[in-house]
Structure formats: C-alpha cells, structure tokens
Amino acid sequence: MNLKGRSLLTLKDFTPNEIEYLLDLAEDLKRKKRMGIKGNLLEGKNIALIFEKPSTRTRCAFTVACIDEGAHPEYLGKNDIQLGHKESIEDTARVLGRLFDGIQFRGFKQETVEKLAQYSGVPVWNGLTDIYHPTQVLADLLTIKEKFGYLKGIRFVYMGDGRNNMANSLMIGSAKMGMDFVIAAPKDLWPEESLIEECKLFAEASKGKISITEDVGAAVDGADVIYTDVWCSMGEEDKAEERIKLLKPYQVNASLMNKTGKDHTIFMHCLPAVKGNEVTEEVFESKASVVFDEAENRMHTIKAVMVATLV
C-alpha cells in the first residue's frame, strides 16, 4: 500500500484498510525494535516538531521514532518560531516545507495543521488539536489488537467528557474499524451531532455501531474496553469544579469495572490522568489497566505513520 506524501490530519481521511496497514507496520517495527534491529528507513530525513502545547508522550514518541529510523528531529516550541504571530501560518509552512521532509504539529486549532499541510508541500502529522488526536487513536487501536487479537466487534466504551478531541477521534477510529462504540456522558458533553452522523456512516460501511447515552450501567454492560480521559482539557481549568460535579457519576472505579460482566475488560487512558477524578488509583494500578502499553505504542504507531508517508 502506498501512503507516500500523505498527511495525517484526522483518521476520517483514511480507509479501514489504510488504518490496518499502519497498525500492521507498527507491529512489525515494534517487533524489530524489541529484537534490537536498528532501522534506517528515515535516514537523511529532517523532521520539524512544532509544539504550541506541552507534551510528554507525543514529543518523546516522535523524537525516539525519528532517531530509531535515522532521521533528525528538530523541536520547535511556541517561542522558537513566528508561527501565526509575526509570520503567517501559510508563510511558515512554505519555509519549513523547503527545509524539512515532514512536519508534526501539536497545538490548538485544527485549521493550523490543515494550513501547514496545504502550504508546506510535505507530509504533516497531527500530534493533537482541540478537535482531533489521531496518533493517539492509532496507539489505542494497536493496544486493543494486541490484547484481543482483533478489532471488529469489540465493545468499546468511552466514559466522561464526550465532546473533547479524544472522544471525537476514538469515535472516528472505532467506526472505521467496525467496533461497537459507546459514549457514556451527560447530554451537555455529547459530541457534535454532525460528527455523530458522519461516524454512523463509517460504522454502517464497516458493520460497526455508534451509540451515545447518559446511562452508565447500560453503556458498560458487556464492555471489552473502558476508556476515559481528563475531565478538564488543556485550557479549560476554570471549569474544573463544574466538570467534577457533572462527571462524578462517570468515574471509572472498581464498581463500574465489575458491571461489564466480563473478566477480560481492559482499562485505557491516553494520559496524563487525574487519579481520583476520572479514574480511581485502584483501577489505574489494576491488572486490567493497559495505560503504559498505550503510552509505548504511541512511539511505534507514530514511527509507522512517518515511515509510511515518507518512504
């Protein structure tokens, strides 16, 4: 499959076969790394890593993935370049496109990463925006595949803030891959109706399901995966008190995990976690928790995306 020259802005733009290809490639690259086989697939490539927002997993995953395959990563923080300040996004994109082979962007507006892709002339990868977080979802899909051996038909339940970038992106990825995807959230925090409808079309094509509910018990019944995220995304700290009150019934705790009726249910979180809010320490540290497998898989899937789109 040839994905050379493609950008990853949202998983909406990728077919189920293309997503499967990226996951298979990530599995292969992970196996080679575990065997100590040094890669050179990105030798001679220079990668710009633009960060408007701070990061642990995204920054480290892109940096290690680049170095593992022989590329040079260049970190560009918000104070290092003039992106959208003294220089337009379009002009910055055209300059970076002349100097780098690929660009990662982690920041606020989806429009920014789209403009970088439109004007740079090189592959651009979305490391997180306010609307989407596709590289995280690839890592999540790989983790689920490793644990269960398949994706189609997995009952995936997302608990909590149903209208943030993770809920949006997980709904897209799950719909594309034929999963039974459920968001359990208060009505005030449901995703945009237009995105729900779009994902229902993806699910129809893949024989998956999409449902949104306020009923926690009905949502988690039969769940293979229970996933949550912070109740206040970056930049929403002023809403913390209100969110905690609203979302307390959606906390992932031992009682909720026991309601799935399955002994193999796994717990997932994109991290960082606020233990005691969206998840209890008990569940986070339990055998069901695969959060650090997910964190590691960020690097393997990001490496796969760069190799697939640059080589």
- Which of these is catalytic: 101, 136, 199, 300? 136
Q: Do 11-133+298-310 and 136-294 show the same overall fold?
A: yes
Whether 31 has a binding-site annotation, put simply, is: no
Rg over CA atoms, the chain: 19
- Which of these is catalytic: 6, 133, 155, 269? 133
Q: Taking all residues of the chain, what is their mean pLDDT, rounded to a whole number?
A: 97
Q: Active site includes 270?
A: yes
Q: Active site includes 106?
A: yes
Print burial letters for 250-274: b (CB count within 10 Å at least 16), e (below 16).
bbbeeebbebbeeeebbbbbbbebe
CATH of 136-294, one of 3.40.190.10, 3.20.20.70, 3.40.50.1370, 2.40.50.140: 3.40.50.1370
- Residue 103, judged by CB atoms within 10 A of its CB (0-12, 13-18, 19+), counts as buried
Q: Active site includes 298?
A: yes
pLDDT number for residue 140: 99
Q: Active site includes 118?
A: no
Whether 169 has a binding-site annotation, put simply, is: no
Q: State pLDDT tens for residues 87-119.
A: 999 999 999 999 999 999 999 999 999 999 999
Q: Active site includes 133?
A: yes
What are the extents of the domains in the chain? Answer: 11-133+298-310, 136-294
Q: State pLDDT tens for residues 177-201.
A: 999 999 999 999 999 999 999 999 9
Whether 40 has a binding-site annotation, put simply, is: no
Q: Which amino acid is at 102?
A: G
* Statement: the pTM of the whole predicted model exceeds 0.95: yes
Q: State pLDDT tens for residues 22-66.
A: 999 999 999 999 999 989 999 999 999 999 999 999 999 999 999
Rounded to the nearest 10 degrees, how much is the dihedral formed by the CA atoms of 258, 261, 263, 264?
A: -110
- Which of these is catalytic: 68, 101, 140, 229? 229
**CATH fourth-level superfamily of 11-133+298-310:** Aspartate/ornithine carbamoyltransferase (3.40.50.1370)
Task: Indicate whether 127 pLDDT > 90.
Answer: yes
Whether 7 has a binding-site annotation, put simply, is: no
Q: Active site includes 72?
A: no
Whether 35 has a binding-site annotation, put simply, is: no
User: Would you place residue 142 in the very low, low, confident or very high pLDDT band (cuts 50, 70, 90)?
Assistant: very high
Which of the two residues, 63 and 79, has the higher pLDDT score? Answer: 63
